[in-house]
Amino acid sequence: MRRADVRLAFTALFALQAAALGAQQARRTIVVSPASAISTVGEGIRRARDGDRILVRAGTYREPTIVVDRRVTIEGDSFPALDGEGKREIMVVTANGVTVRGLRFMNVGASHVEDRAAIRVTNAAGCVIENNRFDNAFFGIYLGRVTGCLVSRNVMRGVRRTEESSGNGIHLWSSSDVRVVDNRISGHRDGLYFEFTRGAEARGNVSEENVRYGLHFMYSDSCRYLDNTFRRNGAGVAVMYTKSVAMIGNRFEENRGSAAYGLLLKEIADPVLERNVFRDNTVGLFADGAARIQATGNTFSGNGWAVKLMASTEGGRFSANEFVGNTFDVSSNSRANSTVFDGNYWSEYEGYDLDRDGVGDVPHRPVRLFSLVVEDNEPALILLRSLFIRLLDTAERVLPSLTPETLADARPSMRRVPPES
């Protein structure tokens, strides 16, 4: 290497070191403490510059709504409490690149005229909200018109009331490329609510015991929901008016009631359902106006109805799924449903496999005649365990005449397809 090149390399190295040192010196830590000169979070923000860190010491802070209008990191020491006293929003973020972690937000009052939130982020990019606690919030985290934000490892405990007096745990509106990861949400109206949101990913969240839905999203295309648990919610999970949604590895459990289901698909196109578990729901999967469902490797066990397919659902395919111990495996209000079932395992299958290739030698018709009766007259369920109904189902299997001819699995699997969960 020539001497001039060596000098140039050392000059560049010294310049980088100087820039790094200057950045470290420029980034300050501002300490907020009830006993110090800076005794409120709002005052700490007013004294901060872009890039500063605001360290909030333990204590309870009651102050007007905190407006974060510069790029700072707000970090709590031992989860200091920000108390809305039941009458206001606690924090509003309007700057890009803000991080909020390690704080406890409490007592955001319910309102019938505004969506009050513990943290509201509007018209911002790159926010990070992680490892916070939310107690008795109306809305917990409200993201409106944001891009590229991360909401991670927060614990949100609402006070379970009515739909009108409860807000959503994590609420996304008109946003894109947001990741919602490893949060625990309970006691809200909807645990997760996405509307007019694109490219979002919800992964590893537990949403349970919410008043209405564990997850509710509308008009939100190209989103992914992976490895979440939705348990004991008022009406389960609702996915509406959208397209190209992937739901993989989720658990839909113990969502019970006259209008409850594990998952509702309403007026959507091209949903992908893979390796999900639908267990102990009134209805596991309810599809109404769902086009081209691709359902592979899912487990339906112990549900009242495992799958309900309305006549408006077309062009779907269910393959390599497992149906075990459901009262009704498949139900439909149409005899001409175009959904295809192929290679699924059915615990109710009474066929045989003479060539031992793992595939039943006779087709399986999963739609019970009695399910059609119940579809028109639900009180008939009282006859479910009667001898007459068993005879009716047996006769229909031998000489099928009323159940949908198209809803048959021509190649039923003799083995349980996905691993047991």
Closest alpha carbon to 372 in 393, 395, 347, 348? 393
Residue keyed to tokens 């310049």: 15
**Can you give the pTM of this predicted structure?**
0.86
d(CA 331, CA 366): 8
How far is 134 from 118, CA to CA, in rounded Å? 8
Torsion sign (Cα): 202, 239, 184, 158: positive
The β-bridge relationship of strands 170-173 and 128-130 is unpaired
**Distance between CA atoms of 23 and 280, rounded to whole angstroms?**
56
The CATH code of the domain at 64-234 is 2.160.20.10
- What pLDDT, on a 0 to 100 scale, did the predictor assign at position 392? 57
Amino acid at 269: A
Torsion of CA 367, 241, 182, 209, to 10 degrees: -60
DSSP 226-275: ES-EEES-SSEEEEEEEE--EEES-EEE---STT--SEEEEEEES-EEES
Helices (H), 40-150: 41-46
Domain borders along the chain are: 64-234, 251-367+404-421
Rg of the chain over CA atoms, in angstroms? 27
Q: Which long-range contacts (CB under 8 A, 24 or more apart) does 243-247 make?
A: 243/268, 243/269, 243/270, 244/269, 244/270, 244/271, 245/220, 245/221, 245/270, 245/271, 245/272, 246/271, 246/272, 246/274, 247/271, 247/272, 247/273, 247/274, 247/276
CA angle 341, 219, 201 (to 5 degrees): 75
pLDDT the model gives residue 377 = 53
As a whole number of angstroms, the distance between CA 137 and CA 130 comes to 16
Which distant-in-sequence residues (6+ apart) come within 8 Å of 377 by Cβ? none
Residue found under tokens 């999900």: 276
pLDDT at residue 394 in the model: 58
Count of CB atoms situated within 10 Å of the CB of 248: 18
Mean pLDDT by 10 residues, the chain (421 residues): 48 45 68 95 97 97 97 97 95 98 95 90 98 96 98 93 86 98 97 97 97 95 97 95 96 89 96 97 95 96 93 92 94 79 92 88 76 52 51 56 68 74 46
Question: What is the β-pairing status of strands 229-231 and 206-208?
Answer: parallel
Asked if 22 contacts 8 with a C-beta cutoff of 8 angstroms, the reply is: no
- Which of 241, 298, 244, 296 minimizes the C-alpha distance to 264? 241
Kindly report the backbone phi and psi dihedral angles of residue 61, in degrees, each rounded to the nearest multiple of 5, phi listed first.
-115, 120
Residue 317 confidence (pLDDT): 95
Return the amino acid letter for 166.
Answer: S
**Predicted pLDDT of residue 14:** 44
Each as own residue / partner, the long-range contacts of residues 201-207 (CB below 8 Å, 24 or more positions apart, any chain) are 201/225, 201/226, 202/226, 202/228, 203/179, 203/227, 203/228, 204/228, 205/180, 205/181, 205/229, 206/231, 207/169, 207/231, 207/233
DSSP state of 81: E
Q: Where are the beta strands (DSSP E) in 115-235?
A: 117-122, 128-130, 133-135, 139-144, 150-152, 155-157, 170-173, 179-181, 184-186, 192-195, 201-203, 206-208, 213-218, 224-226, 229-231
